[in-house]
Amino acid sequence: MIVDFCGTHLLSITQFQTLADLQPIFDTANEMEIYARRERVTRILQGAVMASLFFEPSTRTRISFEAAFSLLGGSVTSTTGFSFSSMAKGESIYDTSRVISGYVDLMVIRHPEVGSVKCFAQASCVPVINAGDGPGEHPTQALLDLYTMMKERNCTLEGLNGISIAMVGDLKNGRTIHSLVQLLALFKQIRFHFVSPPELTIPISLLALLQARGHDTIITESLTQGIHNVDFIYMTRIQEERFNSQEDYLRYRGSYSINLDIFTRYCKPNTFILHPLPRDSRPGSNEIDTDLNNHQQLAIFRQTDNGIPIRMALFALTLGVTKYIHQDSQPVHWAYHLHR
């Protein structure tokens, strides 16, 4: 089944069943690259309004969604946290969603409870995009992660068949992990190395999915074993906000940290390092040491940049305007090249 994006919600990676379902997203993202880099301007979303509702902390996800929508000529209205929304007065998800969907053309939502964004979607008259539902899913992050993997290896979607990836950190609570695993499950013969403390291991349902699809899975506590001989390392933050107590969290804080020395000693030189960010840079955490900042194989900032073309593509597909992308495009007159 080929997914028809126009007018649909994007809530979960389970909406995609084959690589062919994904191809339009990456084709459209490629078309958006010149606009993401500000080499030209296109105003395909002129007159459209997006609401971004972020009930959990966010930097890059919210800003990149909002920037992508604005860059396409649309306007953005947003609310952050519970205290400044009517949810603080006891308003239900249903009412909030129904009301806001009457004002806008698309909603992007992050909320601390698994399944909550789906509840917003059920009450909404306009498409809803899940920007993270607690420890549930983060589908747009997984799409930009996959786009990054293709770009870093300079390959097509099919070119990722057979790769190996070490996923490191809080695999139990990390929603980016949950979405990316389900996305990679659509490929053939991926080798997954899941590196975590036993209590934070990958959910059994995801492991069963991978095994049923014939992928290789290795579970280990050892970072140096896990990152050996893989094509990608996907580091994650221990999800402090998901633990019942600070004491619980502190047990795992700093479990895994990679630096230049470890990378050079244990990884293939062409291994790419990814991270959805934020990396926890406080002393005692440090998933990725700053001594790797200028390393060519550290793809984390190229990965965050990719959030713009991917989110532009999702907007264009969801609002049904892909055929107009280049039609009225114009040159840029400001000095974009000075800072890029």
Binding site for ligand NCD (CB under 6 A): 60-61, 132, 138, 141, 175-176, 236-237, 276-277
d(Cα 177, Cα 192) in Å, to the nearest integer? 12
Q: How far is the CB of 304 from ligand NCD (least distance, A)?
A: 8
Q: How far is the CB of 186 from ligand NCD (least distance, A)?
A: 21
Q: How far is the CB of 50 from ligand NCD (least distance, A)?
A: 17
Q: Which of 287, 267, 172 is nearest to 227 (CA)?
A: 267
State yes or no: cis peptide before 139, omega within 30 of 0.
Answer: no
- Provide the CA 2 distance to its chain's centre, in angstroms: 22
Dihedral (Cα; 241, 243, 248, 250), 10-degree rounding: -20
Q: How far is the CB of 184 from ligand NCD (least distance, A)?
A: 17
What is residue 79's DSSP assignment? Answer: E
Q: How far is the CB of 332 from ligand NCD (least distance, A)?
A: 28
CA angle 52, 54, 55 (to 5 degrees): 150
Nearer to ligand NCD, 41 or 165 (CB): 165
3-state secondary structure (DSSP) of residue 109: strand
d(Cα 225, Cα 267) in Å, to the nearest integer? 10
Contact indicator for 42, 328 with CB cutoff of 8 Å: yes
Q: How far is the CB of 57 from ligand NCD (least distance, A)?
A: 8
Nearer to ligand NCD, 102 or 278 (CB): 278
Nearer to ligand NCD, 131 or 190 (CB): 131
- Provide the CA 33 distance to its chain's centre, in angstroms: 18
Contact indicator for 196, 169 with CB cutoff of 8 Å: yes
Q: How far is the CB of 269 from ligand NCD (least distance, A)?
A: 27
Nearer to ligand NCD, 28 or 306 (CB): 306
Q: In what order do the strands lie in the sheet with 106-111?
A: 75-80, 49-54, 106-111, 128-133
Nearer to ligand NCD, 50 or 277 (CB): 277
b/e sequence 21-33, b meaning 16+ C-beta within 10 Å:
ebebbbebbebbe
Nearer to ligand NCD, 137 or 152 (CB): 137
Q: How far is the CB of 120 from ligand NCD (least distance, A)?
A: 17
Cα–Cα distances in angstroms (integers) from residue 265 to residues 141, 149, 193, 259, in the given order: 30, 23, 18, 10
Nearer to ligand NCD, 60 or 98 (CB): 60
Q: How far is the CB of 305 from ligand NCD (least distance, A)?
A: 13
* Helix residue spans in 72-200 (DSSP H): 93-101, 116-123, 139-153, 175-184
Nearer to ligand NCD, 141 or 318 (CB): 141
- Provide the CA 129 distance to its chain's centre, in angstroms: 12
Nearer to ligand NCD, 74 or 276 (CB): 276
